Chain A
């Protein structure tokens, strides 16, 4: 199935640099290279997991993909439209196709709007539905995410975290998107509720034929959800591979280290698991190290790593990694 699917999203050499302003006159004093040249594709109907430590740029990738930022460099293609530089009306017209579920369900909902108007607002903007139709649609969406319809008149703060995330999901679904970026949609939730929301997302994917970019730092969750997985470190993708290949045989030292921290589902393998502890801090994205990004912390670092940046290369079966050791 994967082979026959066409890529829905194509990203080439995406860069997102945030300017830093300093001093009384607020002069531009450098930039945070939050995302620094990444490329990947997401097939129709698949879930691409994006993992990495906090601050490595996952959220930035997600937002840049949906053009919530004006990107610094690169191209983004969604459903055949190049959206990398379009603006205004043109971009707005494409919004319904791609949506995002945010990390913090509380902050991402306008506190002064009722749930009903939060969900129906995109309908006002992009459809010509009558009031009654809109109300019906809101009702359907709330049903779909498992919220009682009479909640429509309440405000976000009156809900629990899980319920709020359901509101966020209903809102994202309102315009029948093809592609949804899920930015750690469960990170802010209780463990007991996490599973419910994940299941909901899976059901919806099936029901509506959605394509997900699923951002998380929870490797077990990604293993459960994703078809393919991309690993990010300091603004770059260091490894990208089909799920099983990545979890069974990681190529990149960073991926190895990450996985070593995850308990293995198979108890026989779990007993032999050895944790690789990474030393030192993640370098600042405003001043990344020369050569390989990971060289300051890599347990297998060799000389060349400190001067030459490794390229992301295909090591068979769609398994890409960027490390000098593999070359």
Chain B
């Protein structure tokens, strides 16, 4: 397993380099202009100068290499400096800098991670916590009213987009009932009980909207996997052994059914980091998803390039993690 992991990691490097180039190439060839969103009162000559000051007058290949140097060398060095509180070289090196904020992209990402992890991550966890019992019970009581209801809700979760459920919740709970804020306060700090309550209140709606969406997919998956396993002979063996029904379902069926589900969950984690763009937008959570959207709208290429690349890294990484988890959980799989 260890060798396998190392081998896969090594193979990942050229893949990611290739991906980074493809992203750069696509962003560069797509028609966009970082000065496109500026007021028309800024004259074209000034725009040319602005573009030149952003380095856009250089050939693409040079810009790509520059980005590589900034991202693969300067950023890690800077990170090491910050972690260990030391200075390497003269300590000044160009980091990947966003065009719109003129600040290091990695700092922006770090600043936004907390709310994305809290809201989107929490929704993922809640979604899993909802989905697994629903999937298990639906499969165990296949065709029961519970199962039918579960099917109905997951259809709903699948087909109703989050911008609709989000808006609906805002209208009901913020506008009419005034229970929860419609706008997420990213600067809020939890220091005592009442600020904790506020944090819960502002998280409820975005978390639930996303959790509902996540649970819809995952519960179907869980159900299918459970049904698959419930049909298996080893379940009958377990029953024949005279095990308690709870043990049969939870230790035998559930554990085996969870293997593919856990893999799917691991594969979905990069989405958490990617943020749920629409949900973040609706509730103004302003996490990574919104950062990406703003970057795209403002043609902030270093920002979009870096974010997209980080997502690509996460996707590749979690693919590997999913494979490893699968290997760990299922003794039939051996990679070496």
Contacts and interface: CB of A to CB of B under 8 A. Distances in A.
Interface of A: 21, 25-26, 63, 66, 68, 88, 92-96, 99-100, 102-104, 107-112, 121-122, 125-126, 155, 157, 168, 171-172, 175
Interface in B72-107: none
Contact of B331 (A96, A125, A157): A157
Given A92-B242, A92-B244, A95-B242, A108 B233 contact: yes
Given A99-B240, A108-B236, A121-B243, 4 more contacts: A95-B242, A112-B331, A125-B241, A157-B332
A87 B66 CA distance: 72
Contacts of A107: 232-234
B240 A66 contact: yes
Nearest to B332: A157
A108 B332 CA distance: 15
Interface string B226-263: 00000011101111111111010000100110010000
A109 B234 contact: yes
Contacts of B143: 21, 26
Contacts of B244: 92, 125
A-B pairs, 5 with minimum CB distance: A95-B242, A108-B233, A107-B233, A155-B331, A122-B241
- Size category of the B interface is 20 to 34
B241 A111 contact: no
Contacts of A99: 240
Contacts of A168: 237
Contact of A68 (B239, B243, B256, B329): B239
Nearest to B258: A112
17 contacts: A25-B148, A26-B143, A26-B148, A63-B236, A66-B240, A68-B240, A88-B245, A94-B242, A95-B240, A95-B242, A100-B236, A108-B234, A109-B237, A112-B259, A168-B237, A172-B240, A175-B242
Interface in B286-336: 329-332
Given A26-B143, A112-B330, A102 B242 contact: no
A111 B236 contact: no
A125 B240 contact: no
A311 to B, nearest CB: 33
Nearest to A123: B241
A171 B234 CA distance: 12
Interface SS, A side: mixed
A325 B239 CA distance: 43
Contact of B242 (A103, A126, A155): A126
A110 B240 contact: no
A99 B238 CA distance: 11
A121 B241 contact: yes
A93 B244 CA distance: 10
Contacts of A122: 241-243
Contact of B241 (A88, A93, A94, A171): A171
Given A102-B237, A125-B247, A111 B330 contact: yes
Contacts of B234: 107-111
A272 to B, nearest CB: 42
A96 B255 CA distance: 25
A107 B237 CA distance: 10
A112 to B, nearest CB: 6
Nearest to B232: A107
Contact of B240 (A21, A100, A109, A112): A100
